[in-house]
Amino acid sequence: MNLKQAFKIAAKSIAAKKGRSALTMLGVIIGLTAVIILVSFAKGQNKWLEDYYASMVDNSISIYAYKWSMYGSDESVAEDLYSYCQQMSDYLIGVTPMSQVYGNTTIKFGSKTITQDNTDWNSRPQIYLGNQQYTVCQGYTLAKGRDLTYLDVEKLNQVCVLGAKAAATIFDYADPVGQTIYINGTPITVVGLYEDSGLDEYSSKDRVILMPYTLSRLFNGNVDSGQFIAVAKDATSATLAVTMLNGYGKGLVGDNGSFWAENQNQYIDNSNEQSRMQQLFLGGIAAISLLVGGIGIMNIMLVTVTERTREIGIRKAIGAERKSIIAQFLIEACLICGLGGLIGIAIGYLGTAIVCKLVLGFISWPDMTVTVGSFLFSLAMGVIFGLYPAVKASGLQPVEALRAD
């Protein structure tokens, strides 16, 4: 019996028991679908994190300092830390205070009013306070107008620079530069516009409204946040700067406060490692369902051997070799697993697109390595779990097999 005949017999056997074959495939379908969706979702999540970190400037450093006093927050800590950062010009190319204006702020331009209640979160402008180096520290590119200046900060000028999506939300298609908006009733002149970063709608980078941090008295109750962003000249400078900042800052706040300085490069390395671990973990969980499906295939193939005992006896009686019997049942097991694998891959593609769109905000597809690997694994399951029933079938004695009902 040649290979073509073996495939025809296997296909007829599967078609003759459609319901049972479909249920047998179900374990493989569910297992492969779970593997593809979980592994691909982890990959999509990693891509989202990579895009997020790509929006940051290389060698950026996040700094936070807070000290308690008997009167509440000690605001001099932020001032001392800022002065110390400005003295680190051998290591840093820029440093900016950074605080965000929270609460239900009201932004008005002409007849348009934007509040927390009437604007979706993914299009609502986010108000940040910084200095003239905020653009460098956060990796923005100026598209139009000018940036904040030293004099804007020193003279408490009521000006701002808008991110691309913030400008679109407030001004639609009008040119924002030179226009005046009202934030909580305070007139703010738009002096510049940042280029669109190209990040997805869930990123807040393009929704920024940047104003001088010295305006915190108007929007944050004159409370210094103690949070800064700095950018080092290179990776070595970033490491040295973090060490120096931690030594200075922890001495500054003592036991009555909190301080940390962290290099953003550490986040990227940790994120990549966590992503690899997550993919392995999720893939392992999904593989359990494949194992269960494989056991189901072995069980059904044993039932098939029992049902076709007389057929096996006839074939052996007319001279069929053991290897042809083994090949026949292995091909049938592989055909079941292969068909289940193709269906599982198709469902996995659709499921991955839906899950990534709902959770991450963009459509992500499984890569070819996962797809081909999943299909080959399904065929391997057919060989692994079909081998024992096939060997058992080939070992039947012709006389005993012919006596079977």
Lowest-confidence range among 43-47, 242-246, 374-378? 43-47
Q: What is the largest CA-CA distance in the chain?
A: 104
Q: What is the pLDDT of residue 71?
A: 45
pLDDT band at residue 150 under the 50/70/90 scheme:
very high
Burial 47-84 (b: 16+ CB within 10 A, else e): ebbeebbebbbebbbbbbbbbeeeeebbeebbebbbee
Phi, psi of 102 (to 5 degrees): -100, 180
Q: What is the pLDDT of residue 72?
A: 43
Q: What is the pLDDT of residue 400?
A: 62
* 220: number of Cβ within 10 Å: 18
User: What is the mean pLDDT of the segment spanning 12-26?
Assistant: 80
Structural contact between residues 253 and 17, judged by C-beta atoms closer than 8 angstroms? no
Lowest-confidence range among 307-316, 330-339, 364-373? 307-316
Paired tokens of 201? 């709608």
| Amino acid type, 37 | I
Asked whether residue 146 carries a pLDDT value surpassing 90, the answer given is: yes
d(Cα 222, Cα 214) in Å, to the nearest integer? 8
d(Cα 289, Cα 27) in Å, to the nearest integer? 7
User: What is the mean pLDDT of the segment spanning 116-129?
Assistant: 83
Q: What is the pLDDT of residue 195?
A: 93
Asked whether residue 333 carries a pLDDT value surpassing 90, the answer given is: no
User: What is the mean pLDDT of the segment spanning 276-280?
Assistant: 70
Query: pLDDT higher for 13 or 74?
Result: 13
Query: Where do the structural domains in the chain lie, given as residue ranges?
Result: 3-52+270-403, 58-264
Locus of tokens 């800022």: 82
Q: What is the pLDDT of residue 390?
A: 79
pLDDT band at residue 211 under the 50/70/90 scheme:
very high
Query: pLDDT higher for 200 or 213?
Result: 213
Express each pLDDT in 156-200 by its tens digit: 999 999 999 999 999 988 999 999 999 999 999 999 999 988 766
Structural contact between residues 164 and 196, judged by C-beta atoms closer than 8 angstroms? yes
Tell me the Cα Rg of the chain. 33
Asked whether residue 398 carries a pLDDT value surpassing 50, the answer given is: yes
Structural contact between residues 87 and 274, judged by C-beta atoms closer than 8 angstroms? no
**Summary mean pLDDT of the chain:** 81
Query: pLDDT higher for 276 or 189?
Result: 189
User: What is the mean pLDDT of the segment spanning 273-284?
Assistant: 69
Q: Which stretches of 88-234 are DSSP H helices?
A: 134-138, 150-154, 164-171, 216-219
Residues forming beta bridges with residue 157, ordered by sequence position: none
User: What is the mean pLDDT of the segment spanning 292-317?
Assistant: 76
Structural contact between residues 283 and 39, judged by C-beta atoms closer than 8 angstroms? yes
The full DSSP string for 275-333 is: HHHHHHHHHHHHHHHHHHHHHHHHHHHHHHHHHTHHHHHHHHHTT--HHHHHHHHHHHH
User: What is the mean pLDDT of the segment spanning 325-340?
Assistant: 84
Asked whether residue 281 carries a pLDDT value surpassing 50, the answer given is: yes
Asked whether residue 123 carries a pLDDT value surpassing 90, the answer given is: no
- Model-level pTM? 0.59
Asked whether residue 276 carries a pLDDT value surpassing 90, the answer given is: no
Asked whether residue 260 carries a pLDDT value surpassing 60, the answer given is: yes
Express each pLDDT in 45-88 by its tens digit: 777 766 666 555 578 888 888 877 644 445 677 788 888 888 89
- Burial (0-12, 13-18, 19+ Cβ within 10 Å), 255: exposed
